[in-house]
Amino acid sequence: MSSVSSVIEKFFKEYVSFKSIKEVVEEIDQERQKLNALPLEKRDRQIIGIAREIRNNLFEVDHPIVKSKIEWGNIKGTTKEAKELEQVIVNLLKKGITSTEDVKSLEEKIKKFEERVKRELGRKLFEEKDLRQLPGSVALTEASNLYFGEKYTEQGVQQAGTWLLESICLGRFIAIYFIDESLRQSIRRILLRSFGSKHIDVKNLGNLKVHRVEQDKPHIILVKFLLWLHELLAEIEEVREALELLKRGEGVILSMPDKAKESVIHLPRLDLFFLSSDTSSHLEKILRSMRDQLYSFMGNVERGAKRAGKQKAAENELELLATYCEIFYADLLKSGFVNQGSLRRIVDLVIEISEKYGVGTTLFFVGGLTS
């Protein structure tokens, strides 16, 4: 396992972007000009709030789950370094930046603030004994039965923090951590080329044909991600290498929709599933057909329900359909076999919902899964 400090440093290098000193100086100058246009008493009331806002907006975190799960407000505002930086900004807003010494002093305070932010993130992820927001396990083989909110050993806490910081997000709720760093980097390069980001954000889940009610379903997300990768084989040469690595890739899926449902899932052996260099494999074609038909069906149901004023009822029914799809995909990934029970329930629900909202659909994929 990588050392705590190296994991934090790597995360900051890849996912945390601080403003340049030039940008901060320009922002202080601009805000000072606005303040100077105000009456003195109003200026004094606003100056601390403006300084705090400048400090709090010094950096951005480009990791959707870390960004949402960590209490960044406390990290940014309660430490000694944060308060000292705020005071320096207050002073510069009052008197202006008049010398290189002013800039140097500001830069030094920002650097100390950045180092403290790193330490605080490390403390929250790697030192606290009751990590409500993170999974933990001493060994990957133990991960399948773990749930968030447990107490972990020191080694388990460190492993949990590493998983999260080095994971790849697929939307707002699901992230995947691969042990193989070369695989992680390969996937990130593919995502960067396809979406301009090292993660797949919510607006790009549609490219994977993930419906809104499926965004918190880890096995649905994983299967659709793998199908999407296969479709890139003809476009991006590196995808072939990534798929080969995925065949024997080990790791975990972090499912974090809300505190009550957060869990860790041991990544199944994907070589038992459909990962091969053959893009025309029979199962892949069927699963792609299933994905496309159900994604189109869900969208049509939403539109039909909206016309009928039954959006809430339709959402509940689509959520139930997605739940059975999740069961179906989970069994398929773990065993390589089709769960006929969940497949029958999917078919029954599609027919029932189709009739209720007057939406046509096709179920051609069913024959391929039952033959």
pLDDT digits (tens, 9 = 90+) for 191-242: 999 999 999 999 999 999 999 999 999 999 999 999 999 889 878 888 888 9
Integer-rounded Cα radius of gyration of the chain? 25
Assess whether pLDDT exceeds 50 at residue 22.
yes
pLDDT of residue 228: 94
pLDDT of residue 138: 36
d(CA 336, CA 272) in angstroms, rounded, equals 6
Comparison of pLDDT for 155 and 290, the residue scoring more: 290
From the list 197, 192, 199, 196, the residue with the least C-alpha distance to 176 is: 199
Assess whether pLDDT exceeds 90 at residue 17.
yes
Joined tokens for residue 174:
């699901």
pLDDT of residue 128: 60
pLDDT of residue 272: 61
* pLDDT over 90 percentage in the chain: 62
Joined tokens for residue 210:
């993930």
130 neighbors 240 (Cβ within 8 angstroms):
no
Q: Which of 11-25, 130-144, 272-286 has the highest mean pLDDT?
A: 11-25
Tell me: the pLDDT tens digits for 316-328? 999 999 999 999 9
50 neighbors 30 (Cβ within 8 angstroms):
no
Assess whether pLDDT exceeds 80 at residue 146.
no
Range name among 163-172, 277-286, 340-349 with the lowest pLDDT average: 277-286
Length of the chain: 371
pLDDT of residue 273: 61
113 neighbors 148 (Cβ within 8 angstroms):
no
204 neighbors 171 (Cβ within 8 angstroms):
no
Tell me the average pLDDT across 7-18.
95
d(CA 53, CA 55) in angstroms, rounded, equals 5
Tell me the average pLDDT across 331-341.
87
Joined tokens for residue 92:
């510069």
Q: CB neighbours (10 Å) of residue 234?
A: 10
Q: CB neighbours (10 Å) of residue 119?
A: 16
167 neighbors 184 (Cβ within 8 angstroms):
no
Which residues have a Cβ under 8 Å from the Cβ of 234 and sit 6 or more positions away? Answer: 279
| Three-state secondary structure readout of the chain | CCCHHHHHHHHHHHHEEECCHHHHHHHHHHHHHHHHCCCHHHHHHHHHHHHHHHHHCCEEECCHHHHHHCCHHHHHHCCHHHHHHHHHHHHHHHHCCCCHHHHHHHHHHHHHHHHHHHHHHHHHHHCCCCCCCCCCCCCHHHHHHCECCCCCCHHHHHHHHHHHHCCEEECCCEEEEECCHHHHHHHHHHHHHHHCCCCECHHHHHHHCCCHHHCCCHHHHHHHHHHHHHHCCCCCCHHHHHHHHHHCCCEEEEECCCCCCCEEEECCCHHHCCCCCCCCCHHHHHHHHHHHHHHHHHHHHHHHHHHHCCHHHHHHHHHHHHHHHHHHHHHHHHHCCCCHHHHHHHHHHHHHHHHHHCCCCCCHHHHHHHC
Query: Across all residues in the chain, what is the average pLDDT?
Result: 87
Joined tokens for residue 40:
């003195």
From the list 242, 300, 316, 324, the residue with the least C-alpha distance to 275 is: 242
User: Which residues are registered as beta bridge partners of 17?
Assistant: 60
